[in-house]
Amino acid sequence: MLVMNPWIFGAPALVASGLAGMTAYGAVHPRAQLFGPTICRTKSAKQLALTFDDGPNPNVTPKLLDLLAKHNAKATFFLVGKFVRECPELTKEIAARGHVLGNHTDTHPNLFFCGPDETKEQLVRCQEAIHRVTWAAPRWFRPPFGFRSPWLIEIAQRHGMRTAMWTSIPGDWRAKPAEWLIERLKNIAVVRPESAPRAGMPVPLASAPSYGPVICLHDGDYTHQNGDRQRTLQALAYWLPRWRDLGLEFVTMDQTL
Ligand SMILES: [Zn+2]
């Protein structure tokens, strides 16, 4: 009687599930580089890049701009094209105050499910909306929900944009009290070297400078205009002066290169 090796039957399923796992990793994990290069950290442990998605939002963005100005902090705003068309003056003001504008698609779809044509359309429409208002095209792109497809990053590159992800996404969209978000942001300032040297061992020069975080927060709500992001403002009002006191420097995505 012929005994079949169960591996022969199991192998295709294993390969398929392995590929599915790889695809999910490449599409979702913020630091995955499988589908192309992304930037998700700053150059130094002392540098903190604040990024804000889903605006501009007339209910929140002006207050956020004042708060950032009070602490002399520059940030990067990933804007949704449809909101840029609704708020051209606010878009202009974000740029005029020295912040970096990024492209966050036109209507905030999950690009993992968009083909190359639709993806290109989403990026170009947002790019045009921002260019029409500021006379400058963004050089940064962030995919909605962080979802990437195999063609996305190349399309962004072709339109002059690097893709920005994040080190930390505290979940400021969740309906929780500001205290919860303040607590979630506590670990940001803890500077962790990439590989901690062992006791008694000399610190190799190359590993001495570590990297700093890119934090993903939200001044808008992609589902509707005038979304409530008070907890984000409250948490930043708490942390901005403290981060400054800890010696952290606020940088834009341009300064992460
Ligand atoms: Zn978003």
Question: 163 forms bridges with which residues in the sheet?
Answer: 38, 141
Instruction: Output the CA 3–ligand 1 centroid distance in Å.
Output: 54
For residue 225, give the nearest of 110, 90, 35, 133 by alpha carbon: 90
Instruction: Output the CA 187–ligand 1 centroid distance in Å.
Output: 23
The predicted structure's pLDDT at residue 15: 56
State how far Cα 48 lies from the chain centre. 13
At 81-93, the pLDDT tens digits run: 999 999 999 999 9
| Angle (CA) 85 90 95, round 5° | 105
At 7-47, the pLDDT tens digits run: 444 445 555 667 777 777 778 888 888 888 899 999 999 99
Q: What is the pTM of this model?
A: 0.86
The predicted structure's pLDDT at residue 16: 62
Average pLDDT over residues 234-241: 98
| Range 199-203, long-range pairs (CB < 8 A, 24+ positions) | none
The predicted structure's pLDDT at residue 135: 96
Instruction: Output the CA 149–ligand 1 centroid distance in Å.
Output: 16
Instruction: Output the CA 12–ligand 1 centroid distance in Å.
Output: 36
For residue 213, give the nearest of 17, 95, 37, 40 by alpha carbon: 40
Average pLDDT over residues 126-142: 98
Instruction: Output the CA 102–ligand 1 centroid distance in Å.
Output: 11
Residue with tokens 């036109």: 106
The predicted structure's pLDDT at residue 74: 98
Instruction: Output the CA 57–ligand 1 centroid distance in Å.
Output: 13
- CA 128 vs CA 93, 122, 169, 172, 230: distances in Å: 17, 10, 28, 29, 30
Quick one: DSSP state of residue 246?
T
In angstroms, the CA 106 to CA 83 distance is: 8
Average pLDDT over residues 42-62: 97
- CA 26 vs CA 149, 152, 155: distances in Å: 8, 12, 16
In angstroms, the CA 194 to CA 44 distance is: 11
3-state secondary structure of 221: strand
The predicted structure's pLDDT at residue 12: 52
CB 144 within 8 A of CB 110: yes
Q: Label residue 255 exposed, middle or buried (CB < 10 Å: 0-12, 13-18, 19+).
A: middle
For residue 226, give the nearest of 41, 101, 54 by alpha carbon: 54
Element (H, E) at 66: helix 61-70
Between helix 61-70 and helix 88-96 the angle, nearest 10°, is 10
Instruction: Output the CA 19–ligand 1 centroid distance in Å.
Output: 27
